[in-house]
Amino acid sequence: MNSLGGRVQTEGASSLDEVLSKVRRHRAHLSRLMNAHDATRLVLGLLYLSRTAHPATGTGIGVPTWSWLLRQPSGRGSGFRAAVSKCLSHWLPTADEQGADADTRNLMPVPPPGSEGPLHALVQVLGAAQRVGPLLDQCLRDLSADQADGSHYFTPSDMARLMVGAAVPRDGHRVLDPVCGSGGLLVESHRYVRERVELHPALSLQGKEQHAHTSQVARMNFAVRGITAHVFPPGDSLAEPEPDPHDIILANLPFNQRDWALEDKTEQGTRRSGTPVPVDPRWPEEPPPRGSANSAWIQHIAHALAPGGRAVFLMADSVANSRQPVTRRLRERLLRDDLVECVIALPPRVFGHTKAPACLWVLNKDKSARPGWGALDRRRQVLFVNARRAFEPVPDSRARRLGDKNTALILNTLAAWRGLSEDGAAASSYNDVAGWSRSCSTEEIADREYSLMPTSYAVEPPSPERDTRSRVEQLKLELADQFEQMRELELRLLDVLEEI
């Protein structure tokens, strides 16, 4: 088995478990001296150093390398902490390729007094470890858990597999994640294509992230895995349209993001001066509401797709079925342009950051049958999958996850509906399954006020339990509608008060 850096791996399962246990134990020790989030990022930084802090032969005289750090004594005092900080400050990736933003290196937390022992132990464990992939995955899971309370989490691995499998990236594709976080969806895209071409993929991977700390994590993630990807300097993806089209767009979007239109004050001033405001090509018919960025994100993504492009993104349930006029008109436009291919109702509580129910949307700019794609023409049709109950418990936890079995079931259903097969095998036939999936025409969807809620189409057979769940679901949607109306009224009132 090949490592991420190309080395031959001989580390057994028991040895790997021991390494993972040691790293977690030393991280826990650090967490008692600093906050858990910073401790995890420090571990990630050391893992990054262990695979990158090696200058080319004949260069780097006086450069603090990883081998130099391994030789430093632990001792007492600040000597080893200073050595770690020196190495991190020299090797950590900057916010851009030219290193213009040198302050990015200083984003890594400073090791606190008393941390010499666990730091030295971590360096020795990481220096002896052969398999860095599991260590990196553990660090990112821990970092996501540390950040979950602030709704700044990373996409779980099974959800990433579902999203990438639904998008079906191919070798040579241009792949974008406008809210890339740690870069997990781009890493999964690389793995997905590599397994199929059995070579290093010729993908163009691009990520954007608003938070500088997380942008640095994404760069470290790619570097440790040996993946070439371009992470833009930290910034707001919604600030302007994407300049180039993309074949695949993947996004774990922030739900119900408020105050997203940072340019509003400038636009208001421009209007008052009588100068016309340029029309944003992402929303030529009407601008998205300021109270929530949900519809803005959807239109931003749709506008950035290449002619045969596909997008897969997570979105709050309310967007699929809201009766608010602006949201309903958005769904109408998407169906009119025949962009919506599939909507999947996901189980609740499969994310660490929220209990809010969500759907996975699949957009496709070309749903026709064609060589290299599906055998079935699905233009003017939409597949609905009701996966609300497709989850499994996480061992030793109250949390839930999709799991491999449910992820494969959803992807097999979508592939059969598309008439999509791999490795020359005949595509499986598709049939609607009560309570699980249903294929609908856009005309039928229009008759239902353009609702895109899968649970309204893939309806379970009648039963007392199903009737109770349906009623609870309807009440939740009505409550979400009321909250949305309250947000819009609040913003209108603020606008009126500003003009007085």
| 418-470 tens-digit pLDDT | 999 876 677 789 999 999 999 999 999 999 999 999 999 999 777 666 567 66
Residues 137 and 286 grouped into a single domain: no
Residue 480 forms part of a structural domain: no
93 and 33 co-located in one domain: yes
Please indicate, yes or no, if residue 476 is contained in any of the structural domains. Answer: no
Tokens encoding 115: 């941390």
The one-character DSSP state at 447 is H
Residues in the chain predicted with pLDDT less than 50, given as ranges, are 1-11, 97-104, 150, 262, 264-275
Residues 250, 347, single domain; the answer is yes
Q: Are 42 and 159 part of one and the same domain?
A: no
Q: What is the pLDDT of residue 107?
A: 80
- Domain end among 146, 162, 193: 146
- Residues constituting the chain: 500
Burial class (CB in 10 A: 0-12, 13-18, 19+), 482: exposed
Asked, for residue 492, whether it belongs to a domain, the answer is: no
- 177 and 119 inside one domain: no
Same domain as 175, residue 125: no
Predicted local distance difference test score (pLDDT) of residue 31: 93
Burial 380-397 (b: 16+ CB within 10 A, else e): ebbbbbbbbebbeeeeee
Q: What is the pLDDT of residue 122?
A: 94
Residue 494 lies in a domain: no
Which pLDDT belongs to residue 282? 95
Q: Is residue 117 located within the same domain as residue 177?
A: no
Query: Are residues 140 and 187 located together in one domain of the fold?
Result: no
Residues 248, 175: contact at Cβ < 8 Å?
Answer: yes
pLDDT at 106: 65
Q: In terms of residue numbers, what domain contains 75? A: 13-54+63-146
> Is residue 314 included in any domain, yes or no?
yes
- Do 273 and 245 have their domain in common? yes
**CATH code for the domain in which residue 249 is found:** 3.40.50.150
Q: Is residue 335 part of a domain?
A: yes
User: Looking at the domain assignment, is residue 3 inside a domain?
Assistant: no
Contact status, residue 475 vs residue 317, Cβ threshold 8 Å: no
Residue 471 has a pLDDT of 67
pLDDT (0 to 100) of residue 335? 98
| Phi-psi group of 172: left, alpha or beta (phi > 0 → left; psi -120 to 50 → alpha; rest → beta) | left
Judge if 351 and 422 occupy the same domain: yes
- What would the two tokens of residue 55 be? 């200058």
Q: Is 196 found in the same domain as 101? A: no
Look up residue 453 and give its DSSP letter. Answer: -
Q: What is d(CA 433, CA 388) in angstroms, rounded to the nearest whole number?
A: 14
pLDDT of the residue at 462 = 72
Q: Final residue of a domain: which of 101, 117, 146?
A: 146
Q: Give domain status of residue 132, yes or no.
A: yes
Q: For residues 128 and 263, what is the distance between their CA atoms, to the nearest angstrom?
A: 51
- Name the token pair of 215: 């942008």
- Of the residues 146, 176, 192, the one at which a domain ends: 146
- What's the domain count of the chain? 2
- Which residues contact residue 122 at a Cβ distance below 8 angstroms, ignoring those fewer than 6 apart? 23, 26, 27, 30, 43, 46
Measured from the Cβ of residue 295, the count of other Cβ atoms closer than 10 Å reads: 24
Residue 128 sits in the same domain as residue 185 = no
